[in-house]
């Protein structure tokens, strides 16, 4: 109920595109910081920002820099999948993992699952904390997980996301990067299920600030061996932990948005509510450009050229955009006059 209440408040609270873009970028940076921090990354938030913006280099911490760039690139791809309403598939998961393990390259080959056994050990004692399923069982387990995510309609989306997070980490389909990939999968499921909250939240802070609680919640069962411990474990405690983290993150977004509105930003909530989610996102382009091309709009969502043109035509007919020039080949668009007030700070 706390998650749903916060979700409704975020939908109804007015926020202009300039502030929204700033808060969204901050959320992406902190998501990257906290998710890599869980894995031991030592870069601070301001250093993460410098690395992402190609404004800083930290000798001796090249691995940390590569992790940050890779995770940020995966987040960008995730946003495209969500904008396209692309369902979760094994290829999607493998591509997100490949980006996580890259150094920020946009073009990667989908990562195959591991072909051998791996174990998770305690960093201090060296004892085995968890032994995942054998590699021969991984493909089948993943084939079962993906359709369950897509076809499960009887459970609320947050519960589906929590179970998927747990099961992916339990299968542990890769030698490395499983934690980051599982958290990305969680975000994608939530975004596709309508729980994107304008892209302003980051679940990872809740985990990172209490790592012992995170590991205690996700490591359940009587044995460290998958076949004798986690395969049929009761994961109620994990689901409670996960949904509590969602509520924490969502309520933090509400506080941020209320603070933004109290700074004197103009209330154009009624006009903002007339726009669909894609139009609201497109407003961000007009924060930087007076006129844009259909390609720029398409790039924002990862669409194909034909889709770009059709969308622009629909928006012109609906009064959201105006044609800035009549040239068919190099047609440009401006924001309709009545919507320009939404760009005011």
Binding site as annotated, residues: 176-183
One of 33, 165, 172, 191 is an active-site residue; which one?
172
Strand partners, 130: 120
Distance CA 316, CA 298 (A): 15
66 as an active site residue: the answer is: no
Is the Cβ–Cβ distance between 151 and 157 less than 8 Å? Answer: no
**What is the chain's Cα-based Rg?**
21
Is the Cβ–Cβ distance between 112 and 68 less than 8 Å? Answer: no
Output DSSP code: residue 63. H
Distance CA 184, CA 31 (A): 10
Listed in sequence order, the residues at least 6 apart from 140 whose beta carbon sits closer than 8 Å to its beta carbon are none
Distance CA 112, CA 119 (A): 18
Copy the structure tokens of residue 316.
Answer: 């012109």
Catalytic residue IDs? 172
């Amino acid at each position: 109920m706390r998650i749903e209440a916060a979700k409704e408040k975020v939908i109804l609270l007015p926020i202009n595109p300039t502030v929204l873009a700033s808060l969204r970028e901050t959320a992406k940076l902190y998501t990257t910081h906290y998710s890599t921090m869980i894995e031991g990354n030592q870069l601070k938030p301001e250093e993460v920002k410098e690395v992402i913006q190609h404004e800083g280099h930290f000798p001796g911490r090249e691995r940390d820099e590569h992790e940050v760039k890779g995770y940020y690139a995966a987040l960008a791809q995730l946003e495209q999948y969500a904008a396209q309403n692309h369902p979760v598939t094994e290829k999607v998961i493998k591509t997100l993992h490949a980006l996580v393990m890259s150094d920020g390259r946009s073009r990667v080959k989908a990562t195959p699952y591991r072909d051998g056994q791996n174990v998770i050990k305690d960093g201090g004692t060296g004892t085995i904390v968890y032994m995942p399923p054998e590699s021969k069982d991984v493909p089948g387990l993943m084939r079962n997980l993906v359709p369950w995510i897509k076809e499960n309609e009887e459970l609320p989306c947050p519960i589906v996301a929590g179970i998927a997070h747990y099961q992916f980490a339990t299968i542990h389909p890769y030698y490395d990067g499983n934690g980051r990939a599982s958290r990305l999968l969680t975000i994608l499921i939530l975004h596709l299920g309508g729980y994107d909250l304008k892209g302003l939240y980051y679940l990872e802070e809740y985990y990172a600030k209490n790592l012992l609680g995170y590991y205690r919640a996700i490591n359940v069962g009587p044995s460290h061996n998958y076949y004798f411990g986690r395969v049929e474990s009761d994961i109620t405690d994990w689901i409670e932990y996960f949904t509590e983290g969602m509520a924490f993150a969502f309520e933090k977004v509400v506080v941020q948005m209320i603070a933004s509105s109290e700074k004197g930003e103009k209330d154009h909530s009624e006009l903002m509510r007339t726009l669909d989610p894609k139009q609201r996102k497109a407003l961000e382009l007009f924060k930087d450009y007076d006129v844009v091309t259909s390609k720029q709009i398409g790039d924002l969502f990862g669409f194909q050229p034909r889709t770009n043109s059709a969308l622009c035509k629909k928006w012109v007919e609906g009064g959201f955009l105006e044609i800035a020039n009549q040239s068919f080949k190099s047609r440009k668009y401006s924001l309709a006059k009545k919507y320009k007030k939404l760009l005011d700070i």
